[in-house]
Amino acid sequence: MSNQIRIAIQKSGRLSEESLKLIKECGIKLSGGKGKLKTRSWNFSAEFLFLRDDDIPGYVYDQVADAGIVGENTVLEKGHEVNIIERLGFAKCRLSLAIPKEKTYTGVGDFAGLNIATSYPNILNSFLSKHGVSADIHEISGSVEIAPSIGLADAVCDIVSSGSTLISNGLKEVETILESEAVLVTHKNFDKTKKGILDDLVFRINSVQRGLGNKYILLNAPNEKIQEIIDILPGIKSPTIVPLAMDGWSSLHSVINEDRFWESIDKLKKAGAEGILVVPIEKMIY
């Protein structure tokens, strides 16, 4: 059926909750409960397939699904030619090489001749060849971090997020091969008849993402300080200034980038801003 797109998402795991949350924030409502393998949206022309993350790039490549939400690490490891059309900002992690913490490390050359355990043999192999290093890659599908302590490998190449799993297994991270996050992928030759639906989805995702990075700010200040405050808040374009009931005071409303706001908070207070409210924005439409 060409009047709807099929989107593959992870059934359960580190990507599934955030993927569903994003879909919900895009205003896309799913029919049916959890535990299904396939469900449709009743207010958006999409059908969702719930799969293991490893299968998602292949399903998109084979055009069983039109699009998928998956970790960039998985896309690169599988090596199927798909287009990454959006970076989604969640499931951030890195793929790193780690060695027992007591070992000294001088550079990638140290891996020559070692036995490295990983679930990412393809990415690791191309990283090592790029550095002209030849090592033995031992592919295992889970619990990679325990491999050195049980004598299965000299080093590991695995996904790291906080780093605590490596530490608790007596390992130290010595090289980052890849920085990853969840991405939206589509087939290289995306079906033109469904392009409108995909564009609508991407537009909604962008609106949600802009909203997440920005905050709505409201503050009160004496009139003579308003210009100074506008100068402090970087990126502020055209704030709304509303007079307060209290003579000589105004309320300033605007949208700011959250990261920048925290840099300016002290200056704002010194400049005389009071009653500062910073409120989340659900969506921002340009």
Token output for 73: 């690490």
**Which of 26, 41, 51, 53 is in the footprint of Zn ion by CB under 5 A?**
53
Q: How far apart are the first and last CA of the chain?
A: 31
Nearest CB to ligand PRT, comparing residues 138 and 215: 138
Contact 261, 217 (CB under 8 A): yes
Residue corresponding to tokens 């033995």: 136
Q: Which residues within the stretch 144-203 sit at the binding site for ligand PRT (CB under 6 A)?
A: 158-165, 180
For residues 46 and 95, which CB has a smaller minimum distance to ligand PRT in the complex?
A: 95
Pick from Zn ion, ligand PRT, none: which does 160 bind, CB < 5 to 8 A by kind? ligand PRT
**HSE-CB of 27 using CA atoms within 13 angstroms:** 14
d(CA 82, CA 61): 6
Q: How far is the CB of 12 from Zn ion (least distance, A)?
A: 10
Q: How far is the CB of 73 from ligand PRT (least distance, A)?
A: 5
The tokens describing 1, both together, are: 């059926």
**Which own/partner pairs from 239-247 qualify as long-range (CB within 8 Å, at least 24 positions apart)?**
244/220
Minimum CB distance to ligand PRT, residue 79 (Å): 15
Tell which one of 14, 80, 253, 260 touches ligand PRT (CB under 6 A): 14
Q: Does residue 96 touch ligand PRT according to CB under 6 A? A: no
> Is 233 in contact with 261 (CB distance < 8 Å)?
yes
Q: Output 51 or 273, the one with its CB closest to ligand PRT.
A: 51
Answer yes or no whether residue 54 interacts with Zn ion by CB under 5 A: yes
Q: How many residues bind ligand PRT (CB under 6 A)?
A: 21
Residue 146 Cβ vs ligand PRT, minimum distance, rounded to whole Å: 10
Strand order across the 82-87 sheet: 38-40, 46-51, 5-10, 67-71, 182-187, 82-87
Contact 69, 49 (CB under 8 A): no
Q: Which residues bind ligand PRT (CB under 6 A)?
A: 10, 13-15, 52-54, 71, 73-74, 91, 93, 158-165, 180
Which residues here bind Zn ion, judged by CB under 5 A? 53-54
